[in-house]
Amino acid sequence: MIGQSSKVRFNSLRLFFMSFPCISLSRAKEEDLLCTHTCLPVSWQWSETPEWTNSRSRTMDFLLQFAFTPLPTPAIISLFAVAAATLFYLNTRPNPVRTPVDLNCQTTGVKDGARKAAFMEDNNNLVSSCSKDATTLYEVFQKGLKVSGNGPCLGYRKPGRPYQWLKYKQVSDRAEYLGSGLLHKGLNPNADTFIGIFAQNRPEWIISELACYTYSMVAVPLYDTLGPEALVFIIDQAEISTVLCDNQNKAETLLQTREKGQTPVLKTVVIMDPFNSELVERGTKCGVEIVSLEDVEALGKSKLQKPVPPKPEDLSIVCFTSGTTGNPKGAMLTHENVVSDAAGVVKGFETVLYGAGARVGFFQGDIRLLPDDMKTLQPTIFPVVPRLLNRVYDKVQSGAKSPFKKWLLNFAVDRKYAEVKEGIIRNNSIWDKLIFHKVQESLGGRVRVMVTGAAPISPSVLNFLRASLGCQIFEGVRSD
């Protein structure tokens, strides 16, 4: 005896089978279904109906017709197109670039606490330069002059204007003129002479630096972000008697400290941009000579001195950092330090790029105009600070406003980053063409190597950019 719920389930089961026109459930076997405690059919018999016979016949006719009827021409062309696209992808997809060492253990220790690249194995002959005739920063630039055939070197532009380029010989000559002018002002051509450079990145910065190297003097970069107290400490600590500034505002900052009785060693301020005559009088009152860069170069050109090249072991630059506590710390780097470091990473970007005859373009000085500079210059190597990369990341993320766009962006990033982890770096995938081409074009569209430093960058931002930009991105962070 089955309950009411069991009969309901049986009727539902019978209605289910009866919904198919090709199947009928024999009433003779209904009793067998009712006698079970599980309310499931124990046995039933099938009987073919006219509907079932017709349906089976129609199905066979359709299958035979589909199998032996020629495909229409558009369908054949579509199949060949799909096959060709598949073969093209399989033949052109990039092969993974396998790293020669474990990225979590890239160096091994050698004697005296030094370290070497892990892939060098038993070879302890550390690289000191890329070329035997380029062992100092001065020689590196002179080699670049030869390699480039006096090609373009330093680029700059004004708003709304194309880039203008100084050639290697022009840069070299101006460095000699400036260096000779500084010597005529009483400086000595040796590694005991420290020259401060207090300016934004611009061609004159490089010319000033090269002037120091041409006559074995030492460059000391100064930054207004360190604050007035740090400037006073660095000038006094390095005994900097001459500072090259880019504009009048920075010169006034230096004069303010001098007027307070600080930085007594400061004697000369050279300004790159035009300035008013009142600044000269103000400097005279506190014992500081104010002179234009153009006048110093003109003086050096009229009293040109023969270059005094440095030796590899001579000091080249002192880089002061804010540090975490106390006064700024100065990293003292010799010419051999810088050149060997550059050689150790194969090509050391802005420094050794000159040795390869490359050209280096500078922005207009306004960070808001940097996107326009990038599109115009179209760089292949781009040194950058994390702050700018964070802006690029935020701009891309804010552009994906709808939930679908955010999902699609994250999916594309995941697909591209999966390739990055396999050693595949490219910018020609389907995701690059559909999603990432705009962000790549915002940086000029030709970036192959990017280096970020000066501060840490979020791993999520770094991974996103490695996927979306399709270029090598290296991170270098100092530790104090």
Q: What mean pLDDT do residues 152-176 have?
A: 90
DSSP characters for 69-84? SPPPHHHHHHHHHHHH
- Name which of 100-114, 197-211, 249-263, 330-344 the model is least confident about: 100-114
Average pLDDT, whole number, for the chain?
Answer: 79
Cβ(302)–Cβ(321) under 8 Å? no
Res. 40: pLDDT tops 50: no
295 pLDDT band, cuts 50/70/90, is very high
347 pLDDT band, cuts 50/70/90, is very low
Of 260, 262, 292, 263, give the one whose Cα is nearest residue 279: 292
pLDDT for res 354: 59
pLDDT for res 147: 84
pLDDT for res 12: 46
Q: What mean pLDDT do residues 462-475 have?
A: 84
Res. 280: pLDDT tops 60: yes
Q: What mean pLDDT do residues 359-384 have?
A: 76
Domain limits, CATH 3.40.50.12780, in the chain:
137-361
pLDDT for res 17: 42
How far apart are alpha carbons 462 and 421 in whole angstroms? 13
How far apart are alpha carbons 360 and 134 in whole angstroms? 19
Cβ(436)–Cβ(466) under 8 Å? no
pLDDT for res 368: 74
pLDDT for res 10: 43
pLDDT for res 15: 42
DSSP characters for 210-221? HHHHHTT-EEEE
pLDDT for res 421: 81
Of residues 467 and 215, more confidently modeled: 215
Of residues 47 and 263, more confidently modeled: 263
- HEC string of 34-50 equals HCCCCCCCCCCCCCCCH
172 pLDDT band, cuts 50/70/90, is very high
Q: What mean pLDDT do residues 215-236 have?
A: 90
Of 132, 263, 241, give the one whose Cα is nearest residue 186: 241
Cβ(272)–Cβ(199) under 8 Å? yes
Q: How many CB atoms lie within 10 A of CB 40?
A: 10
432-460 core/surface letters (b: 16 or more CB in 10 A; e: else): beebbbebbeebbebbebbbbeeeebeee
pLDDT for res 20: 45
Q: What mean pLDDT do residues 390-410 have?
A: 86
pLDDT for res 203: 93
pLDDT tens-digit series, residues 54-95: 666 777 776 666 666 776 788 778 888 888 877 876 666 666
Res. 380: pLDDT tops 90: no
Kind of pairing between the strands at 360-361 and 381-384: unpaired
pLDDT for res 70: 72
pLDDT for res 13: 42
Res. 307: pLDDT tops 90: yes
Please tell me the CATH code under which domain 137-361 is placed.
3.40.50.12780
Of residues 104 and 299, more confidently modeled: 299
How far apart are alpha carbons 351 and 340 in whole angstroms? 11
pLDDT for res 49: 59
Cβ(135)–Cβ(336) under 8 Å? yes
Quick one: angle between helices 203-214 and 137-148, nearest 10?
120
How far apart are alpha carbons 97 and 420 in whole angstroms? 9
Model pTM?
Answer: 0.64
pLDDT for res 79: 82
Res. 360: pLDDT tops 90: no
Of residues 81 and 21, more confidently modeled: 81
pLDDT tens-digit series, residues 173-208: 999 999 999 999 999 999 999 999 999 989 999 999
How far apart are alpha carbons 105 and 167 in whole angstroms? 42
- Name which of 101-105, 174-178, 465-469 the model is least confident about: 101-105
